[in-house]
Amino acid sequence: DVKVTQSSRYLVKRTGEKVFLECVQDMDHENMFWYRQDPGLGLRLIYFSYDVKMKEKGDIPEGYSVSREKKERFSLILESASTNQTSMYLCASSFRHHTGELFFGEGSRLTVL
Amino acid sequence: GDSVTQMEGPVTLSEEAFLTINCTYTATGYPSLFWYVQYPGEGLQLLLKATKADDKGSNKGFEATYRKETTSFHLEKGSVQVSDSAVYFCALTKPASSGNTPLVFGKGTRLSVIA
């Protein structure tokens, strides 16, 4: 089975802290994605990557950056966390061509105080 | 841009009731359509999909038919169970021939089934 693992299920950080959310997949997928999930807003795409060292902005990239140094790992970085970034963050991966079949991790719930 | 609109929840049903969750879309070209499900405490997982008009996707007793004339992909199940309680997301993407795009999700519909 495909497994997408997010490093932390729950995090509590202070405003202004730098936050790293890590995601690892074990199926040699080319594509990886970061979404945030908020009540009433559904899933919104932050960044995605089609290959190592490449990245594309999604719908809400402001305040975030990403890193993909290895094919299996895609990191989301909050350079200076703010309270409006309190959310559930979901990582997903898929094969190269956009078939729409994403495999999701269990999510990382971030609270910024 | 492309978008998906699904009925707002929460939806509360008794066990064995009939379920419909409405989903309509706006997109140019020929999108593929999906339903994803998120059980409590878990990530999303693909429930079913349809890639062209009049296709019917089905899985675990759920069905949805791709209706291009009404731009809809409504999710149905004839008899829900308590274990179906989850959040359901409608989504679309376009194949490479129509301009590859990441999945676009609806806002989700929470379903609660009571015994």
Write the DSSP assignment of B3-43 as a string of letters. Answer: EEEE--S-EEEETT--EEE-EEEE-SS--EEEEEEE-TTS-
Q: Which residues in chain B have Cβ-Cβ distances shorter than 8 Å to A9?
A: none
Q: Measured between CB atoms, which of B43, B100, B101 is closest to A105?
A: B43
- With CA atoms as reference, the chain A residue closest to B89 would be A42
Q: pLDDT tens digit string along A34-58? A: 999 998 899 999 999 988 988 999 9
Q: Which residues in chain B have Cβ-Cβ distances shorter than 8 Å to A90?
A: 43-44
The model's confidence at residue A96, banded by pLDDT at 50, 70 and 90, is confident
Q: What letter does residue A97 receive in the DSSP assignment?
A: S
Q: pLDDT tens digit string along B43-100? A: 999 999 999 999 999 999 999 999 999 999 999 999 999 999 999 999 998 766 655 6
Query: Residues of chain A whose C-beta is under 8 A from some C-beta in B?
Result: 4, 33, 35, 40-43, 45, 48, 58, 90, 92, 97-107
The model's confidence at residue A98, banded by pLDDT at 50, 70 and 90, is low
Q: pLDDT tens digit string along A15-37? A: 999 999 999 999 899 999 999 99
**Three-state DSSP class for residue A33:** strand
User: Could you tell me the CA-to-CA distances from A27 to A5, A10, A45, A99 in Å, in that order?
Assistant: 11, 25, 21, 16
Q: Whole-number mean pLDDT of chain A?
A: 93
Inter-chain touch A43–B105, beta carbons under 8 Å: yes
Q: Whole-number mean pLDDT of chain B?
A: 93
